[in-house]
Amino acid sequence: MSDAFDRPFRRFFFNPPIVREWTGSTALMDWLETPSSHIIKINVPGFSKDEIKVQLEEGNVLSIRGEGAKEEIQPKDAILHVSERGKGDFSREILLPENVKTEQIKAHVDNGVLTVVVPKDVNPKSKSRNIAISSKL
């Protein structure tokens, strides 16, 4: 493999994906990382805050789901020629990095965009530690 392929694109082909599930929904996502947080923005046009569920699941998985009903056609004697605006359900699961403050995650929806802010832990706890060695177990 060439160096050009090896460097920037390697993680897409050889590491497990960060986004675990994409259902093909219209809930398109942007994920930005700043020095202090991860900011996730998802298109949720027509959904109210009560129709969207944001949960942190086991293993640092952020689960975002929306459930909405199709709009009814009015008046009843109308003929439907094209239907592209109906709100359907969507689901996204995002595997968050380990260095986040899960207890401080915040979400809000405004103008059809759900914004989830996941603060980073700027002083992550080290997973390595010294093990004392004795002469007998």
Q: What is the pLDDT of residues 82-129, one digit of tens each?
A: 766 666 788 889 999 988 999 999 999 999 999 999 999 887 666 677
Mean pLDDT of 21-48: 83
pLDDT at 95: 93
Whether 79 maps to a domain, the answer reads: no
Higher pLDDT, 124 or 63: 63
Confidence of residue 136 (pLDDT cuts 50, 70, 90): confident
Nearest CA to 49 out of 93, 136, 114 is that of: 114
List pLDDT tens digits, range 65-83.
998 755 665 677 888 777 6
- Is pTM beyond 0.85? Reply is no
Q: Is residue 109 part of a domain?
A: yes
In a domain, 108, yes or no: yes
We report the CATH number of the domain holding residue 57 as: 2.60.40.790
Residue count of the chain: 137
b/e 119-130 (16+ beta carbons within 10 angstroms → b): bbeeeeeeeeee
Whether residue 11 lies inside any domain: the answer is no
- pLDDT, average across residues 53-71: 86
Domain presence at residue 111: yes
Q: Catalogue the E-assigned strands of 4-131.
A: 19-22, 29-33, 37-43, 52-57, 61-66, 90-95, 106-110, 113-119
Would residue 12 count as lying in a domain? Answer: no
Q: Is residue 135 part of a domain?
A: no
**Domain that residue 111 falls in:** 19-69+87-119
Q: Each residue of 28-39: pLDDT tens digit?
A: 899 999 999 999
Look at the chain and report how many structural domains it folds into. Answer: 1
